[in-house]
Amino acid sequence: MTTPGVADALDVAAREEAGRVLALLARRHGDLDLAEEAVQEALLAAWRTWPRDGVPANPAGWLLVAARRAAVDRLRHEASQQRRSTGAAADPTVASGDAARVDRGELWETVADAPDDRLLDSGTAIPDERLRLVLLCCHPALDRDAQVALTLRLVLGLTTTEIAAGFLVPEATLAQRLVRAKKKIRLAGIPLSVPADLSERLDAVLTVVYLVFTEGHFSAAGGGLVRVDLAAEALRLAAVVDGLVPNRPEVLGLRALLTFHHARRDTRVDGDGGLVLLDAQDRARWHTGEIAAGNALLDRAMRGAPPSRYVLLAVIAALHANATSPAATDWVTICRAYETLARLDPSPVIRLNHAVALAMRDGPDAGLAALEQVRGLERYHGLHVARGQLLLRAGEAAAARAELARARDLAVNESQRRYLTHLLTASTDSGSAGSAT
């Protein structure tokens, strides 16, 4: 039986400290596979011994000692096999790749090579080299699915089983995706490095965070399967990235945005798994403490530079999250934020949301006119939901029902379909329904 304190420590070891140790070892040896296997062995050793011997004084240092030993054992084993087949030998403990070219004496290196007893001492901090690891996992030479899987596996320490369940893909598919991605990293020579201009690469990282969040947030209603909480994992990843590159407005903005969305999680789905839209959600059940945390993050994101994409999205989310009722929402400021956003990101989904906000400010006809200008979303159910709802508000019930029926045909999950069926029935009964968004 594992006592609660040990169980928590093992959880933190797998989710937090494993990523740190992995980043350090990958840099030390210039070999991601070696680092991953060594960390895995160290975690297994922790699961075996901590329940018996208690949690070590410096869990991260303990993991580093164990993983370092596992890495050297593996290198020795490989070298002796090579010796048997070729007669030649290399010193397995000498670092190769990236690490060998770095000047001696950097903090990470001093700690990676420190004696065991120093690492086991509770006063020794383990340096955080995870920025390199995050940038490697989100490298543009890897495809998006591979970036997501690698980041969750290596940075957040999720298991292959958990990631596969989170994205509803077979475990074998996910495992294969990880193997291919690591092979590409190795053979194509993708480095563990931090480029001089971070913004473009950081953008890819934030896209991965956002994708993980939306997967968790919008699929929460589906299936009734036990799934790892991807929305919470995305928030954790955003916090890690914020810690690695502090005070970047786009990172703070994304954190704020996700925090506001996540604060509404308990009210987005009703007891039957049906979708509940913003204007019908029970605001008393929103997590007010989290909304306050989102406000504080957004305040920091708004300092200095003109707002970027995620900051503007966070501004809009904040105006919704802080409004006491749908009617009390500041639609004027929301419309202004969408106008700025549409200039930075002229995507049709942004234009669609802008049109819905305009309808809230100026009435359904203004929204319908703006929707006429949106191109390329004919097969997106959201366009037809918006148009159907605005037509209902404008009193055109027959046209509205045609749009809602079209939306139901295009809906991607059961909770959306159920919601639209409900809306269609209601519109037939009364000829009217609630407002959009």
Task: Kindly state whether residue 195 participates in binding other proteins, applying the rule CB under 8 A.
Answer: yes
* Among residues 2, 3, 49, 193, the one that binds other proteins under rule CB under 8 A: 193
Shortest CB 196 distance to other proteins, Å? 11
Task: Kindly state whether residue 373 participates in binding other proteins, applying the rule CB under 8 A.
Answer: no
Kindly give the residue spans of alpha helices, DSSP state H, lying in 363-413: 364-372, 381-393, 397-410
Task: Kindly state whether residue 105 participates in binding other proteins, applying the rule CB under 8 A.
Answer: no
Task: Kindly state whether residue 188 participates in binding other proteins, applying the rule CB under 8 A.
Answer: yes
Size of interface with other proteins, in residues (CB under 8 A): 19
* Among residues 22, 39, 142, 291, the one that binds other proteins under rule CB under 8 A: 142
Task: Kindly state whether residue 180 participates in binding other proteins, applying the rule CB under 8 A.
Answer: yes
* Among residues 141, 296, 327, 344, the one that binds other proteins under rule CB under 8 A: 141
With contact defined as beta carbons under 8 Å apart, do 260 and 235 qualify?
no
Measured CA to CA in angstroms, residue 396 lies from 33, 44, 364, 366, 403 at distances of 61, 64, 11, 15, 11
Task: Kindly state whether residue 184 participates in binding other proteins, applying the rule CB under 8 A.
Answer: yes
Strand partners, 269: 275
Eight-class DSSP state of 16: I
Closer to other proteins by Cβ: residue 146 or 221: 146
DSSP letters, 136-192, are HHT-TTS-HHHHHHHIIIIIS---HHHHHHHTT--HHHHHHHHHHHHHHHHHHT---
Q: Which stretch binds other proteins (CB under 8 A): 31-39, 186-194, 222-230, 368-376?
A: 186-194
Task: Kindly state whether residue 187 participates in binding other proteins, applying the rule CB under 8 A.
Answer: yes
State the Cα–Cα distance between residues 325 and 372, nearest whole angstrom.
29
Tokens of 246: 């502090």
Shortest CB 143 distance to other proteins, Å? 4
Closer to other proteins by Cβ: residue 182 or 381: 182
Task: Kindly state whether residue 137 participates in binding other proteins, applying the rule CB under 8 A.
Answer: no
Q: Which stretch binds other proteins (CB under 8 A): 112-120, 140-148, 335-343, 389-397?
A: 140-148
Closer to other proteins by Cβ: residue 144 or 343: 144
Task: Kindly state whether residue 227 participates in binding other proteins, applying the rule CB under 8 A.
Answer: no
Q: Which stretch binds other proteins (CB under 8 A): 44-52, 190-198, 410-418, 425-433?
A: 190-198
State the Cα torsion 315-320-323-328 to the nearest 10°: 110
Tokens of 196: 């001089």
Task: Kindly state whether residue 87 participates in binding other proteins, applying the rule CB under 8 A.
Answer: no
State the Cα–Cα distance between residues 49 and 62, nearest whole angstrom.
11
Task: Kindly state whether residue 189 participates in binding other proteins, applying the rule CB under 8 A.
Answer: yes
State the Cα torsion 23-24-29-32 to the nearest 10°: -10
Shortest CB 147 distance to other proteins, Å? 9
State the Cα–Cα distance between residues 405 and 365, nearest whole angstrom.
21
Residues that bind other proteins (CB under 8 A): 98, 101, 139-143, 146, 180, 183-184, 187-191, 193, 195, 200
